[in-house]
Amino acid sequence: MINESQLLIERVQTGVRMEKRLLKVLKALAEYHDLSLGDLLEGIVLHAFDGKTPFSTANLKRIQDLKKFYRLDLDSSASHRLKEIKRRSENKTAAEQKTSEKKTTQKKTAEKKTSEKKK
């Protein structure tokens, strides 16, 4: 059994990357339970480490509904087999999009000048 002094912990910030729709489901579930995402993940991992299921039947139903809502069609069979794709332009940040557009404009301007010189 855990005593009170063991419940005093130190948390660290982490920059974990994970599948976009999976993160949306986790955030929605955390929000539903009024937990931070970190608290939810800690609970899931601690249950898993003990060989216990972290979710009640009602929560599993809620997760299925959230998976449908966010179009998450992955299950445990996809674990450790996911392959990341390059980000599409619509997923770029505003700054990345602006830089990309500026480069495209510069390239077109240079091509136009080259074309005019040839005439």
CB burial string 60-87: b at 16+ within 10 A, e below: eebbeebbeebebeeeeeeeeeeeeeee
99 lies in a domain? Answer: no
pLDDT of amino acid 20: 96
3 lies in a domain? Answer: no
30 lies in a domain? Answer: yes
What are 32-44's pLDDT values in tens digits?
999 999 999 999 9
53 lies in a domain? Answer: yes
92 lies in a domain? Answer: no
What are 74-119's pLDDT values in tens digits?
999 999 999 999 876 555 666 677 777 777 787 777 777 777 776 5
Yes or no: say if 97 and 89 are a contact pair by the CB < 8 Å rule: yes
What's the structural domain count of the chain? 1
Examine the pLDDT at 1 and tell me if it is beyond 70.
Answer: yes
- Domain ranges, residue 23: 16-75
Query: 48 falls in which pLDDT band (50, 70, 90)?
Result: very high
34 lies in a domain? Answer: yes
Query: 66 falls in which pLDDT band (50, 70, 90)?
Result: very high
41 lies in a domain? Answer: yes
Please report which residue ranges of the chain form alpha helices under DSSP H: 20-32, 37-49, 57-69, 94-118
97 lies in a domain? Answer: no
Query: Based on the number of CB atoms within 10 Å of its own CB, is 25 exposed (0-12), middle (13-18) or buried (19 or more)?
Result: buried
The predicted model scores a pTM of 0.68
3-state secondary structure of 75: coil
